Structures are given as structure tokens and as C-alpha cells.
Structure 1
Amino acid sequence: MGIPIEELEPILWGLSGVLGAVVGSFLNVCIYRIPIDGLHIGNPRGSFCPSCKSAVRWYDNIPVLAWLWLRGRC
């Protein structure tokens, strides 16, 4: 009647990978920024490149895809 679990398994693995990349990216930002800037919940700064300090656009924050698109560069 429903979709067999065997057919859903690749989709669940893919979604788990995407969720892991998003959570990992967020934790990386927290681990990098909190010791340097402190915790600014009321007035957070936008994302920036640690090398040149230029602002990072929202679509350049997409884990893995943006890194591939930018070829690992700023």
C-alpha cells in the first residue's frame, strides 16, 4: 500500500548527508567565531571570509555545493 522502506533508504541517506553538512557548517562557524568575537545573539555579524574579510553572500554559504562552485577559494 505504501512505499517500501527499501525504496526510501537512498533518499533517507541523502537527506541525512545534507542535514549533516548543514549542521556541521553551522557548528564550524560557532567554533570559529565564539572564541574570537564572543557570542553576539542580539547583533550577529554576517558571514565573511577569514582570509580577506570580505562579505560572503547567502548562496555561498550552502555547504559542499558552494565550496565546489567556488573551487575552495574566496
Structure 2
Amino acid sequence: MSNTSPTSLPPSLATEFCGLRFHSPIVLLSGCVGFGEEYTRVQGFSNRDAGGIVLKGTTLEPRLGNPPH
């Protein structure tokens, strides 16, 4: 039997990283999930469950890769 009552809230997953506070440690990455629409077909998952979305990667120094457009 569970110790929680039906009205209790689930524990918070909020976390802080580099001075930024996220309500969830789940971060959707560009290239892995696009804009998150791919996960709308996963039962029980909502984009609201993600703490953030990374749209593009960046680096401090130039690196080899696709040329700028």
C-alpha cells in the first residue's frame, strides 16, 4: 500500500543548472526530437514534461562542420 493519499502531489523534479532553474531535468535536444512533435505519439508524454528544448548547439570556438548559410 502506498503512503501517499490520492490528493498528494508528486515530488518536484525541479533542478538548477548554471544558474538556470528548470521544472524538470528532461531537456529535448535538436536533431533528436525536432520540435518535440515526434513525442506527441508517445503515450503519457507531453512537451510540458520537458524542462527545456535545445534548438541548436553552439561552441565558443569555430569548428569544422557545415559552412554558414
Provide the TM-score with structure 1 as the length reference: 0.19
Give the structure with the larger strand fraction.
Answer: 2
Q: Which structure carries more relative contact order (alpha carbon 8 Å, separation 6+)?
A: 2
Provide the TM-score with structure 2 as the length reference: 0.20
